[in-house]
């Protein structure tokens, strides 16, 4: 008897490129893998930050690729990060902190390296953005899903009718109207705030101010990349970065800037030895992991550029994927949950087909 223990794997970040045959009760990963080519969107090399660590003890290369957030989120810090990468500022710096179930952090361990000129000091107001700013940055996106009887809304309604199962209807549903109520996303009950959704490819939370203005902010999920800082009102320059390696530390939302997420190579960070100093800093400088270079992908030679695609979160495929994450019906499962946390919906990313 083949031991199928825990065969119900989470959809991996890097999916196989070949589309698969439809199966009766597909897993979220199978749904994404079966998406038509038109649902996949190329990620521009100018949006990818490439971190090459020193090879591991066996000589194996370790490359981590980070996708930066789109406007209007965190653009002040992201501008700084582009300048730091262009100045090759991180070359020769290191990973200095690995705290279990929290973060891996990198930057200049000496805290003495001069920063390049022209970095912006971003105010704390930059931790959130407004629906007006989103509207400006994403006019096309809002047209697609915000207006009346769009094709997507209609497709989602049909989809909702098709996938709604009697068991779960009460707790969870795909609903064109609810989806249309927010710009472009998916939402559910959240332990931290009144609204969460996947917006334009990214998990975000939102809340309405007293004046009726909606404020949006990115959320700390596994693999999210943020900006280390000193005590308030400092907000960090972007030179000191970290990524989340445990349960989503959502208490950091709106307290610290998020700028992107790791889309490949996460295992080179998560498998590092935990630091034994306070907050997981390495006590011995020899434990630090050298960073060979950090570059924007478009600065690399054509052959060396990583090529990735993201599953459009405006596609019907993506909505089916989310619904399946909330209601697992693939063969391993006996009880679909009827809901899903915003940080348990990794947006599918794959290497671009050659």
CA distance 102 to 244: 6
Least Cα distance to 49 among 254, 231, 227 occurs for 227
Interface with a copy of itself includes 129 (CB under 8 A)? no
Q: At what angle do helices 139-146 and 151-163 cross, to 10 degrees?
A: 50
Interface with a copy of itself includes 102 (CB under 8 A)? yes
What 3-state DSSP class applies to 6? coil
Using the minimum distance from each CB to a copy of itself, give the nearer residue, 14 or 154. Answer: 14
Interface with a copy of itself includes 302 (CB under 8 A)? no
Interface with a copy of itself includes 208 (CB under 8 A)? no
Question: What distances in angstroms separate CA 32 from CA 15, 27, 203, 235, 260, one per listed residue?
Answer: 8, 9, 18, 37, 22
Smallest gap, in angstroms, from Cβ of residue 326 to a copy of itself? 8
Using the minimum distance from each CB to a copy of itself, give the nearer residue, 30 or 39. Answer: 30
Q: Which of 20, 192, 287, 306 binds a copy of itself (CB under 8 A)?
A: 192
Interface with a copy of itself includes 163 (CB under 8 A)? no
Give yes or no for a contact between 175 and 187, defined as CB atoms under 8 angstroms apart.
no
Size of the site for a copy of itself (CB under 8 A): 80
Give yes or no for a contact between 126 and 235, defined as CB atoms under 8 angstroms apart.
yes
Q: How far, in whole angstroms, is CA 140 from its chain's centroid?
A: 22
Q: Which of 26, 176, 183, 249 binds a copy of itself (CB under 8 A)?
A: 249
Interface with a copy of itself includes 134 (CB under 8 A)? no
Interface with a copy of itself includes 214 (CB under 8 A)? no
Interface with a copy of itself includes 230 (CB under 8 A)? yes
Q: Which of 246, 277, 290, 353 binds a copy of itself (CB under 8 A)?
A: 246
Residue written as token pair 């931790």: 127
Q: Pick the stretch among 69-77, 285-293, 314-322, 339-347 that binds a copy of itself (CB under 8 A).
A: 339-347
Q: DSSP character for 303?
A: G
Using the minimum distance from each CB to a copy of itself, give the nearer residue, 76 or 228. Answer: 228
Q: DSSP character for 14?
A: B
What 3-state DSSP class applies to 157? helix
Binders in 7-26 for a copy of itself, by CB under 8 A: 7-10
Interface with a copy of itself includes 88 (CB under 8 A)? no
CA distance 264 to 234: 30
Q: Which of 211, 284, 334, 354 binds a copy of itself (CB under 8 A)?
A: 334
Interface with a copy of itself includes 351 (CB under 8 A)? no
CA distance 308 to 211: 41
What 3-state DSSP class applies to 185? coil
Interface with a copy of itself includes 206 (CB under 8 A)? no
Using the minimum distance from each CB to a copy of itself, give the nearer residue, 34 or 281. Answer: 281
Using the minimum distance from each CB to a copy of itself, give the nearer residue, 98 or 153. Answer: 98
């Amino acid at each position: 008897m083949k031991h199928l223990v825990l065969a119900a794997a989470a959809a991996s970040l890097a999916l196989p490129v070949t589309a698969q045959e439809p199966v009766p009760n597909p897993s979220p990963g199978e749904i994404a893998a079966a998406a038509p080519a038109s649902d996949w969107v190329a990620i521009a090399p100018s949006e990818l930050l490439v971190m090459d660590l020193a090879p591991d003890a066996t000589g194996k290369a370790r490359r981590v690729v980070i996708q930066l957030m789109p406007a209007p989120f965190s653009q002040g810090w992201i501008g700084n990060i582009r300048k730091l990468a262009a100045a090759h500022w991180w070359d020769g710096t290191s990973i200095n902190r690995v705290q279990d179930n929290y973060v891996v952090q990198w930057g200049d361990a000496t805290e003495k390296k001069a920063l390049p000129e022209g970095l912006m000091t971003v105010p704390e107001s930059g931790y959130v953005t407004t629906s007006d700013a989103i509207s400006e940055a994403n006019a096309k996106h809002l047209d697609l899903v915000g207006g009346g009887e769009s094709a997507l809304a209609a497709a989602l309604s049909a989809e909702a009718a098709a996938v709604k199962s009697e068991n779960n209807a009460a707790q969870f549903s795909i609903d064109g109207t609810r989806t249309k109520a927010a710009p472009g996303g998916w939402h559910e009950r959240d332990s931290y705030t009144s609204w969460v959704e996947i917006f334009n490819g990214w998990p975000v939370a939102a809340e309405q101010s007293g004046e009726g203005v909606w404020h949006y902010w990115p959320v700390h999920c596994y693999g999210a990349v943020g900006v280390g800082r000193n005590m308030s009102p400092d907000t960090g320059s972007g030179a000191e970065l970290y990524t989340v390696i445990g349960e989503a530390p959502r208490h950091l939302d709106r307290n610290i800037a998020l700028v992107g997420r790791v889309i490949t190579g996460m295992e080179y960070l998560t498998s590092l030895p935990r630091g034994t100093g306070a907050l997981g800093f390495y006590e011995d400088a020899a434990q630090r992991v050298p960073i060979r270079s950090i570059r924007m992908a478009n600065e690399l030679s054509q052959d060396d550029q990583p090529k990735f695609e993201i599953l459009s979160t405006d596609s019907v495929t993506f909505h089916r994927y989310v619904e399946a994450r909330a209601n697992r019906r693939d063969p391993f499962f006996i009880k679909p949950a009827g809901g899903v946390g915003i940080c348990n919906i990794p947006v599918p990313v794959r290497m671009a087909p050659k």
